[in-house]
Amino acid sequence: MSMTKQLLAIGSGMSPLLSVLGRHGWQVHHVSDVRQLAMHKGVREATVGLIWVDDKVMRQLDTLRKTAGLFDLEWVLLVDRALLAQPLIKHFINDVCYDFHCLPIQPTRLEVTLGRLHGKTLLHRQTQHGDEDEAGLELVGEHPSMRQLRQDIRRLARIDMNVLISGESGTGKELVARAIHQCSRRAKAPFSAVNCGGLPLALVQSELFGYERGAFTGATERRIGRIEAAKGGTLFLDEIGDMPIEARVNLLRFLQEGTIDRLGSSRSLEVDVRVVSATHVDLSRAVREGRFREDLFYRLNVCCLNIPPLRQRRSDIPILAAHFLGSPAKRMELPGKRFSSEAMCVMVGYAWPGNVREMVNRISQGLAMSRGRIIHAADMGLAENLRTSTLMTLEEARAQAEQDALALALKLFGNNSSEAARRLGVSRATFYRLLQKYQMAEPTLSAANPTPPESRVEKEDALSS
């Protein structure tokens, strides 16, 4: 999705203003007649609409009011103060406009409004249609490791190869597997998940490969196995490292030949599936120690992804906590709850051995156990961690707060570094130094950020010296 600031301007008599905006990084699409609007390419490319109420626009305002909602834009009206009393103008502002400015225009104030709406529109489009790199992914977090994970998922989803996902229990391995499936060409086909560690040896064969009627006592009808059920789609083998050793031989044969044999059948069936597996076990070490077949490992591990534990991305904890507070609160009909400052401090300092799964469970517990609107550490069963968790050094606490503020500002203002820095009360030079200090992804260059970060830092340093 383009980050360029593009403006759709309607009306005449605004050329001087549009020239100023053009010099300040806005790409302007100018339409003098409302009837040209539907066919103009600027309608699709612009993020903000600006309407100057002249005589022609005034005559066409009712038509524009009925059609403006069809375009994914935020609208700003420029109008003579004397016209504000007219019902048509009042209705138009109420029904269509985000904001209005009275003539004569103050360009600086108008630019602030347009900049905010540009960021607001970009965020809305990313939410509705998905960012080019991260669309369709429900993986919450702004830590560099999570941004990289989302990019890797997008890249691997396009390549129809087997993927091995590694990570501690509770990090969200199945969520990543589903994201790979949803972003791939197989998205409309089935996604079949199998917990390999939860299957006893006696059931593995029938569960994975299925069986024919009469294959064994009690087999009264044919049953399709999980592999065949995923035909054309994705087979997710969770906790593959815990699969019974005896069952791995048939799985290897399927991976090598792409065929399965139902129990009780003499005919092999070809099955086209993509295999995504996951493990909390270090399979490379297990291979070296002879606890896992090397040939099976390499069949599964064509491509690999690693999910970082929650303790390695503490800056995401406040974001995740707010995210996970919403759904359970709505389900439990407990709106308006929030975390106390000490509870948030404890969560940031806690080791989270159960990772994201543990966080979800503890927040649900906190919602149920809290007596008022505030959720305390004790409500989540984290009271014993209060003393140690809150004993961060001032330097650690400041670093944590700075990372949270940077991540939130970038998200709120659509990666507009100038606006994010302004709202945080720091110069752009300081803003970029902090991004580099915490190894956070820098905003993509755009008209809002027309020069590289290093150039801006050097220039601002020179001006301030």
Number of domains within the chain: 4
Instruction: Determine what percent of the chain is predicted with pLDDT higher than 90.
Output: 26
Strand locations in 269-428 (E) = 269-270, 274-279, 303-306, 338-339, 374-375
Residue holding tokens 């998922």? 153
Average pLDDT, the chain: 80
Q: Give the residue with greater pLDDT, 432 vs 456.
A: 432
Does residue 273 lie in a domain region?
A: yes
Average pLDDT over residues 15-44: 78
pLDDT band at 129 (very low <50, low <70, confident <90, very high): very low
pLDDT band at 58 (very low <50, low <70, confident <90, very high): confident
- CATH assignment of the domain containing 246: 3.40.50.300
Does residue 1 lie in a domain region?
A: no
Report the distance separating Cα 231 and Cα 192, nearest Å: 9
**Same domain, residue pair 153 and 291:** yes
Cα–Cα separations (whole angstroms), residue 2 to 5, 6, 106, 119: 9, 10, 28, 12
- Using the predicted structure, report yes or no on whether residue 333 has a pLDDT greater than 70: no
**Same domain, residue pair 351 and 275:** no
Average pLDDT over residues 67-73: 66
Q: Give the residue with greater pLDDT, 215 vs 51.
A: 51
Secondary element (H or E) of residue 346: helix 341-349
Does residue 280 lie in a domain region?
A: yes
Average pLDDT over residues 375-390: 75
**Same domain, residue pair 74 and 185:** no
Of 129, 155, 177, the residue at which a domain comes to its end is 129
Does residue 229 lie in a domain region?
A: yes
Report the distance separating Cα 438 and Cα 143, nearest Å: 10
Nearest to 272 by CA among 162, 137, 410, 117: 162
- CATH assignment of the domain containing 52: 3.40.50.2300
Instruction: List CB contacts of 159: < 8 A, sequence separation 6 or more.
Output: 303
Does residue 137 lie in a domain region?
A: no
Report which DSSP code applies to 421.
H
- Using the predicted structure, report yes or no on whether residue 365 has a pLDDT greater than 80: yes
**Same domain, residue pair 218 and 202:** yes
Does residue 139 lie in a domain region?
A: no
- In this structure, of 114-128, 331-345, 429-443, the range with the lowest mean pLDDT score is 114-128
**Same domain, residue pair 300 and 160:** yes
**Same domain, residue pair 331 and 425:** no
pLDDT band at 336 (very low <50, low <70, confident <90, very high): low
Q: Which domain holds residue 426?
A: 394-464
Residue holding tokens 């391995």? 173
Does residue 293 lie in a domain region?
A: yes
Of 327, 354, 389, the residue at which a domain comes to its end is 389
Q: Can you give the pTM of this predicted structure?
A: 0.57
Average pLDDT over residues 214-242: 88
Rg value, the chain, Cα: 28
pLDDT tens, position by position, 284-305: 999 999 999 999 999 999 999 9
**Same domain, residue pair 239 and 157:** yes
**Same domain, residue pair 166 and 301:** yes
Alpha-carbon dihedral sign for residues 214, 218, 222, 224: negative
- CATH assignment of the domain containing 383: 1.10.8.60
Report which DSSP code applies to 86.
S
The DSSP result for 297-330, as a single string, is HHHH-SEEEEPPPGGG-GGGHHHHHHHHHHHHHH
What is the β-pairing status of strands 48-52 and 6-10?
Answer: parallel
The pLDDT value recorded for residue 88 is: 87
- In this structure, of 40-49, 92-101, 111-120, 288-297, the range with the lowest mean pLDDT score is 40-49
pLDDT band at 202 (very low <50, low <70, confident <90, very high): confident
Of 255, 275, 306, the residue at which a domain comes to its end is 306
Instruction: Determine what percent of the chain is predicted with pLDDT higher than 70.
Output: 81
**Same domain, residue pair 404 and 272:** no
**Same domain, residue pair 161 and 65:** no
- Using the predicted structure, report yes or no on whether residue 457 has a pLDDT greater than 60: no
Cα–Cα separations (whole angstroms), residue 405 to 23, 324, 439: 30, 19, 14
- Using the predicted structure, report yes or no on whether residue 180 has a pLDDT greater than 90: yes
**Same domain, residue pair 332 and 251:** no
**Same domain, residue pair 148 and 119:** no
Does residue 13 lie in a domain region?
A: yes
Report the distance separating Cα 183 and Cα 178, nearest Å: 9
